[in-house]
């Protein structure tokens, strides 16, 4: 059996989880195994309405009201106990903050090997795989061996694909045995963001601003460009460190991973860590005064010039329909 760790919002699986299900289903086919899923939260059982479309046969729902909110050690111990009882060949999770953290705890507690940010996996007696390392600046080819193998699927590398044959998953509730100490870290509350508009990870157009923007007030012209294109604004780590934009806007290795149809990078040098975050973009348009900037070499299109002159011209052109 291949076990998929599925994150969800109100019973609807998240996009990264659906991406990782594509990898999990491939492994299930390669190993002639069934595909199961493990979910948490009060509405976890509702994921079965969606997961059958992706080939999941059984949904294992952890039943403990303390697990309804995220608690990394407790969630990991729950997955570990499921591994003990079900003996899956592999556990596959999305390479999100939660997916990585939970599997890291499972691997440490169960002495199992973990391979993160996988791009391709060839299942045999051992798993031969390719995965991102050093912030995506290189691809490592490795062999993974263990009684149960733990993997995370790199974001935006697998397309969410429905199974050829849909299933009607059964929901099996299990109650893990958990100590109070395993809840020493947990989510205490949620606070709604004041921001509105298109979410950065879902936007089809993203306008990014770096140190070259010059200051927080100068993002107005980028906001206008994003609005005209029905997109949203992001930022480099340098801009966030300056306090010009909130961390939620950061694109990069330690920020958001985006996969828009178009990414317009304004005044951004293109450090490796930033490029990790925008590598999923179909098209990159770079605007920079330095023709030798790394992002100018890596982008699909480049405009050499001052963004403070070019972006207002773009805005005017878009308003005029030219």
pLDDT digits (tens, 9 = 90+) for 47-97: 999 999 999 999 999 999 999 999 999 999 999 999 999 999 999 999 999
Q: Is 5 helix (H, G, I), strand (E, B) or coil?
A: strand
> Could you tell me which of 308, 275, 306 has the C-alpha nearest to residue 290?
306
Residues in Cβ contact with 23 at an 8 Å cutoff, skipping those fewer than 6 apart = 92, 118, 121, 151, 153, 158
Q: Record the tokens describing residue 239, joined without a space.
A: 């801009």
pLDDT tens-place string over residues 171-226? 999 999 999 999 999 998 887 665 566 788 889 999 999 999 999 999 999 999 99
In sequence order, what are the beta bridge partners of 8?
13
- Residue 196, pLDDT score: 61
* The model's pTM: 0.76
Instruction: State how far the Cα of 170 lies from the Cα of 254, in Å rounded to an integer.
Output: 37
- Residue 193, pLDDT score: 60
> Could you tell me which of 203, 235, 200, 207 has the C-alpha nearest to residue 310?
207
């Amino acid at each position: 059996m291949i076990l998929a760790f599925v994150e969800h919002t109100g019973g609807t699986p998240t996009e990264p989880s659906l991406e990782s299900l594509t990898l999990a289903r491939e492994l299930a086919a390669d190993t002639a195994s069934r595909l199961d899923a493990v979910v948490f939260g009060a509405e976890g059982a509702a994921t079965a309405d969606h997961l059958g479309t992706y080939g999941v046969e059984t949904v294992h729902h952890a039943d403990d009201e303390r697990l309804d909110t995220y608690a990394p050690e407790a969630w990991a111990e729950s997955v570990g106990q499921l591994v003990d009882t079900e003996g899956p060949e592999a556990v596959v999770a999305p390479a999100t903050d939660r997916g990585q953290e939970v599997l890291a705890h499972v691997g440490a507690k169960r002495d199992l090997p973990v391979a993160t940010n996988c791009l391709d996996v060839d299942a045999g007696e051992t798993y031969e795989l390719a995965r991102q390392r050093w912030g995506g600046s290189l691809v490592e080819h490795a062999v993974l061996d263990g009684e149960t193998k733990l993997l995370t699927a790199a974001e935006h590398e697998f397309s969410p694909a429905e199974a050829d044959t849909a299933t009607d998953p059964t929901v099996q509730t299990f109650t893990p045995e958990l100590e109070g100490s395993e809840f020493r870290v947990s989510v205490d509350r949620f606070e709604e963001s004041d921001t509105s508009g298109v979410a950065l990870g879902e936007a089809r157009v993203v306008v990014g601003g770096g140190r070259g923007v010059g200051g927080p007030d100068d993002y107005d012209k980028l906001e206008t460009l994003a609005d005209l294109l029905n997109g949203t604004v992001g930022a480099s780590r340098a801009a966030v460190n300056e306090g010009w934009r909130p961390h939620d806007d950061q694109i990069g290795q330690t920020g958001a991973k985006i996969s828009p149809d178009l990414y317009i990078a304004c005044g951004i040098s293109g450090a490796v860590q930033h490029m990790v975050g925008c590598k999923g973009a179909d098209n990159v348009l770079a605007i920079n005064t330095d023709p030798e900037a790394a992002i100018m070499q890596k982008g699909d299109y480049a405009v050499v010039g001052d963004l403070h002159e070019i972006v207002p011209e773009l805005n005017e052109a878009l308003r005029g329909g030219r």
